[in-house]
Structure 1
Amino acid sequence: MRTRRTVGKTDSRRGARPVVTGAASVLLSMGMGMGMALPAGTAHAVGTGTRTAADTAPRIDLKVLVVDDGGPSVEAIRSTLDAAGTPYTRVDLTDPARQKIDDAFLADTVDGRARAKYQGIVLPDDNPFGGSSAEMAALAGYEKRFGIRQVDAYTYARPAVGLNVPADSGYAGTLDGKTAQVTPAGATGSFGYLRKNVPFEDNDPNVNESYGYISTPLAQQPDGASYTTLLDAPIPGGTGRGSLIGQYNHDGRSELVVTFVANQYQAQYRLVSRGIVEWLTQGVHLGASRNYFAVHVDDMFASDDRWDTKLKCTPGDVDCPGNPTPEHPALRMTAADAQYAKQWSQSHHLPLDFAFNGVGSVEYRSEHGGLPDPLLQQLTADQKSFRWINHTYTHAFLGCVQNTTVVPWKCATDAAGKTQWVSGRNISDEINTNRAWAAREGLAVDNDELITGEHSGLKMLPQQTQDNPELGPVLAKSGVAWIGSDTSREPQQRLVGPALTVPRYPMNVFYNAGTAQEETDEYNWLYTKKSDGGSGTCENSKVTTCLPKPLDVKTGFGTYITPLETRIALGHVLANDPRPHFMHQSNLSEERIGYKVLENVLSDYAGLFADNTPVVNLRMRDIGTELSKRAAWNAALAAGKVTAYRIGNAVTVTAPAGVQTLATLPDGTLQGGTAFGAAYAGSRWAWAAPAAGQGTLDFTLPAGSTPVLHKHGGAAAPVQAPAAALPVPRGVSHPVPYGPAATARR
């Protein structure tokens, strides 16, 4: 069976708890919305009694305070907290009616116990409030009193933050294309998940995409102060190295001094973002972050029509004349390709998910005199090396009935003008016939996962503005819980009948290309101007741009397309994004060009991350479950229904019934007397739920994980003068695309 495309091939390329014991235990329902500026609540005490020395430890709520000036650096940190499910309160400095920061906003007393309302402070720079600011003084005193840390998201290198000014012994300017490194101090601290190098992006030589200050620490720090560089870089024009991120301890306070600006999409920020949050929260926080990479290979057992380099279209598609010819046969994997897939998957420790269409094997036998299908034989023998997903029997379009007499196609209508839909019976046949075929061939498949051909049945703009109403009921009857969708159309998970979607990233390795030259020829056609021999569609597109000139068809795939697709996919991996990527079986046939991109992603990743931070590879159902849990967790946070705090080495979390808690805690943390969670990036993480009959979660942190506290009262913590306004290049405020097919950074 040839897999025909009727949607313009949009699926193959980018369109762009045990209750706390003790007399002073308190459960406070506080606002913990992600990114919501919430008023301070009133605490209500529960019980009093005789205190021990341990009972005098303050309560520190597990929530971050983000003071936002609207700049990209603070926005980047907010995006990291959002993605992880880490709650924060935002104070918008651009809002004249904003909440003022004072002692009452930051702390209060609960049942006689001091309460710090925020476990960490994010500021745009080391002092965004102006000279003699009462707000900055309140923050400084709060940090000193409770041992709370402060991140300066982007600040000028100067003595007030423990550094020499760049003009004396450093550098100020663009950092495009430069490579920073984690220092030994950073590697033994919050940045130990990185192998060493932190490269700065340089996507467009005509646009400045970064700016920063590389500066050396003061040779003579003020009394009691110290500066420890955690990320450094060579000083251009010099022989030494200077700080880009460092820890400045002074006056009983601790600041993370970041002297470069970045946006949330840039690789240099995504690489250090975990370390910034872990440093800020001292390794104890709600939410979690991991690096995910899963790859679905669609159309297994089927064949895919081949791009014609002369016609500049794909014979067999509705928008291309003719059918495949012996000179341009359809693309289908061989038994040797299947053997290679097994070897590759095992050697790269990346199981592939095969979405299969059984009719392709049936047609192969019919076309070869009833002889067995070697591809089926090989993959059945090696089936445990892969994961298998029902992709429907014939890859039929399951949305509206298509009128393909016009280009682009449109939904057929009846005499009354109503949309005609593919019937529920036909949808059911596609699902169940594929299951029955797999069972006959001895192929083990999980029936709760489904990917329809071209994600059909789901709404597909502009032609089909709603789901096929027959789809949801069939999914219910068929026991389908997870259905694949396309992130370029619908990036968020949603319900379809009883099933939840699993959005998938299309990789720009085209379904109709089996060789590098075919891929490059089609790429040129799509992304070059008419005057350069291309289709010209990029000239008036809102989602793509044009190449400055056509790629060399002999070298373009290796020198341009592969690196570009690697950067795009790796960007998703670094974004705590579990959504899978997908390509097609044709890309694992002939020249096997799909592996080139996958190998680059894995190789680049291995060069950036330490062994304690492996790529997380999940099957489709587990990805869907992760997305679903996150949605429930984030909804609970936004509704203010989560309470979390630490008192000494005890952490208590309360969440709504049925909502699992996501947390990251230090290695050595116990939950109910046993080790908490799973190891990742030097910490422990888990989705956790209370024991039966309990309403709260209790964790016991290891010794040495309690913040250093200072006695209340005494001299106020000194406050430095405000930082100057700093340069923000256009390439930071307006993210620079990776390439013509990736104008929207994600």
Structure 2
Amino acid sequence: MHTRRFKHRIVLPFFCALALCLNPTSLLAASVVDLKVLVISTGTADEDQGLDLIDDLLDEVGVRYDVLDSSREILTAAQLHEGAHGFYNGIILTDAMLYFTGEGNYLNSGFTLEEWQILHTYERDFSVREAVISGFPASGPYYKNTYDLDYGMDIFSIEAGSRFNGIWQAPAGGTELFEYVNTANALPITDYAVAASPASDGLGPVVQPLLTDESTGKVLVSRLTYDDGREVLYSSITNAWYLVHSQILNYEFLNFATQGVFIGARKVYLAAHVDDLFLTSALWNPDTHMTDEEPGYRNTAEDIQNLVIEQQNLLASHPTLRTFKLDMVFNGGGAVVDQNLVSDADTWIRESRARSNYGQKPYGFFEKQSNSSERMLVHFPVKTAPTPANQALLKLQGPYSWVSRSGQVCRATAEWVEDEATWERAKLSDAWAAKGATYDKTSCVEFRLRSG
């Protein structure tokens, strides 16, 4: 059994003045229990998403708890109590039947009938509640005889799906159950869940619906009360840390199981993370119904200023939000602007054909000969690039691997048009100041293309 322990054990006597006083029919009327929760799982947190959900909450709140892995460990009465001293004041099951799939096991319970009976006897004798995070509503004679389980549902009424709209039912939202939830709003269930109607045979527990499916009225979350005094909060909804509905339901599993008495404190925060401040995001294409990675969109200085203004307007309109702030997450991604610009225009010009334009050609030449020269014109959109884009990458490749070439790259000082530039003219309306293009000779950089 995995355990989370504080240095000192804390014991709470069960006096009848307390909300947690024992049922008068309990066998151990003078019992005491530790303020500690037992979580019974179907595996490790990596294997059991219910455990992965609830242990986060218990750690955040500061609750003392143990974990018993039903797929690997055997439950005994000695693990639950010693005489009239109970070790736990709340039980949380990650799955209603503790189903697991493992070597030599296919969808069987992690508990035997004897283990289930040991657990239920402890809950009855020490008036300890149980909360079930998720699972199949095992009900009826078969499950009662095989596992001592009956969640009070008509299994022939079951409907399964992943799109339920949950409607809260009183007493949810009152002073005891889900009191922290605005039950006037529906709770969309966005993962697999099972809805069922309570059984009408009167043989199982009394079912008090707390959350029902809007379209059918069938139960998703309920409070169960058994003839022997046991109480269970039962959810047939898949719950995991990444599901919004789970973040709503999660706290009540702890609150109900412990009857609101536990070591720790729950604090709720609202934080809106804008992640990441500088990253480029893909844009939704309404024509293709897909996201386009290129060119994408990246925050501008104006966007950040507008964000500040809108947040100030929000706070001014809603004084209760005066401490609300957007968390502008920054991990460095996108902070350094890519300096490698892609050319948006290129052509080549020939002295021997001084009035010809080659702007539509997919290639170009540069060479100086005794009777004729050729030059390449390449333009980079430096002005439209994000600051501080002051560099451009020009990749040159020779026509043959065994030929070496050398030359210069210089900055042009006159504007030119790709489909109009010739040896004589920068564009149809403007001639070069000097034929063969006007450029700054002091800016020239020597280069050499080596063979191979």
Give 1:142 deviation, angstroms.
0.6
2:3 to 20, 31, 37: 37
Partner residue of 2:180? 193
Q: 1:106 to 1:183 in 2, by over 3 A?
A: same
Partner residue of 1:275? 252
Q: Does 1:221 align with 2:202?
A: yes
Q: 1:315 to 1:261 in 2, by over 3 A?
A: closer
Q: 1:130 to 1:72 in 2, by over 3 A?
A: closer
Partner residue of 1:171? 159
Mapping 1:45-64, distance limit 5 Å: 57-64=30-37
CA distance in 2, matches of 1:121, 1:101: 13
Give 1:150 deviation, angstroms.
1.5
Answer whether contact 1:345 1:351 (CA < 8 A) is retained.
no
Structure 1 residues 357-399: Cα deviation after superposition (integer angstroms, max 9, x where no partner): xxxxxxxxxxxxxxxxxxxxxxxxxxxxxxxxxxxxxxxxxx9
Partner residue of 1:258? 235
CA distance in 2, matches of 1:315, 1:244: 43
Give 1:181 deviation, angstroms.
1.8
Partner residue of 2:49? 72
Partner residue of 2:124? 144
Q: Does 1:119 align with 2:89?
A: yes
Q: 1:334 to 1:36 in 2, by over 3 A?
A: closer
1:247 to 223, 245, 255: 223
Residue ranges of structure 2 left out of the alignment (5+ in a row): 12-21, 23-27, 99-108, 141-149, 284-293, 341-385, 387-452
**Counterpart amino acid of residue 221 in structure 2:** I
Partner residue of 2:425? none
CA distance in 2, matches of 1:119, 1:272: 20
Mapping 1:20-35, distance limit 5 Å: none
Partner residue of 2:81? 107
Mapping 1:125-524, distance limit 5 Å: 125-128=95-98, 129=109, 133-157=113-137, 158-159=139-140, 160-165=150-155, 167=156, 169-172=157-160, 174-176=161-163, 178-188=164-174, 189-196=176-183, 197-200=185-188, 202=190, 210-222=191-203, 225-235=205-215, 240-250=216-226, 251-293=228-270, 332=305, 340=313, 343-346=316-319, 348-352=320-324
CA distance in 1, matches of 2:2, 2:179: 31
Question: Which has the larger Rg?
Answer: 2
Answer whether contact 1:231 1:246 (CA < 8 A) is retained.
yes
Q: 1:289 to 1:336 in 2, by over 3 A?
A: closer
Paired-residue identity, %: 21
Structure 1 residues 283-315: Cα deviation after superposition (integer angstroms, max 9, x where no partner): 111222232125799xxxxxx9xx9x9997879
Structure 1 residues 528-579: Cα deviation after superposition (integer angstroms, max 9, x where no partner): xxxxxxxxxxxxxxxxxxxxxxxxxxxxxxxxxxxxxxxxxxxxxxxxxxxx
Q: 1:192 to 1:329 in 2, by over 3 A?
A: closer
CA distance in 1, matches of 2:129, 2:123: 6
Residue ranges of structure 1 left out of the alignment (5+ in a row): 1-34, 46-53, 203-209, 298-303, 317-327, 356-398, 409-521, 523-746
Q: 1:291 to 1:135 in 2, by over 3 A?
A: same
CA distance in 1, matches of 2:39, 2:236: 18
Structure 1 residues 124-156: Cα deviation after superposition (integer angstroms, max 9, x where no partner): 444434685322121111111000111222232
Q: 1:268 to 1:219 in 2, by over 3 A?
A: same
SS for the counterpart of 2:179 is: coil
Answer whether contact 2:41 2:95 (CA < 8 A) is retained.
no
SS for the counterpart of 1:163 is: coil
Give 1:170 deviation, angstroms.
4.0
Name the structure with the higher helix share: 1
Structure 1 residues 474-510: Cα deviation after superposition (integer angstroms, max 9, x where no partner): xxxxxxxxxxxxxxxxxxxxxxxxxxxxxxxxxxxxx
SS for the counterpart of 2:171 is: helix
Q: 1:38 to 1:290 in 2, by over 3 A?
A: closer
Q: 1:69 to 1:132 in 2, by over 3 A?
A: closer
CA distance in 1, matches of 2:316, 2:218: 45
Of the two structures, which has the highest relative contact order with CA contacts closer than 8 Å and spacing of 6 or more? 1
Q: 1:354 to 1:244 in 2, by over 3 A?
A: closer
CA distance in 2, matches of 1:141, 1:339: 58
CA distance in 2, matches of 1:78, 1:263: 11
Answer whether contact 2:133 2:253 (CA < 8 A) is retained.
no
Answer whether contact 2:97 2:136 (CA < 8 A) is retained.
no
Answer whether contact 2:70 2:110 (CA < 8 A) is retained.
no
**Counterpart amino acid of residue 247 in structure 1:** R
Answer whether contact 2:133 2:239 (CA < 8 A) is retained.
no
Give 1:339 deviation, angstroms.
7.1
**Counterpart amino acid of residue 213 in structure 2:** A
Give 1:58 deviation, angstroms.
2.1
**Counterpart amino acid of residue 87 in structure 2:** K
**Counterpart amino acid of residue 179 in structure 1:** N
CA distance in 2, matches of 1:214, 1:256: 15
**Counterpart amino acid of residue 313 in structure 2:** Y
Answer whether contact 1:155 1:260 (CA < 8 A) is retained.
yes
Give 1:405 deviation, angstroms.
10
Answer whether contact 2:315 2:321 (CA < 8 A) is retained.
no
Compute the RMSD of aligned alpha carbons: 4.6
2:66 to 89, 102, 106: 89
CA distance in 1, matches of 2:325, 2:167: 35
Mapping 1:589-600, distance limit 5 Å: none
User: Could you tell me the TM-score, scaled by structure 2's length?
Assistant: 0.51
Answer whether contact 1:68 1:75 (CA < 8 A) is retained.
no
SS for the counterpart of 1:276 is: helix
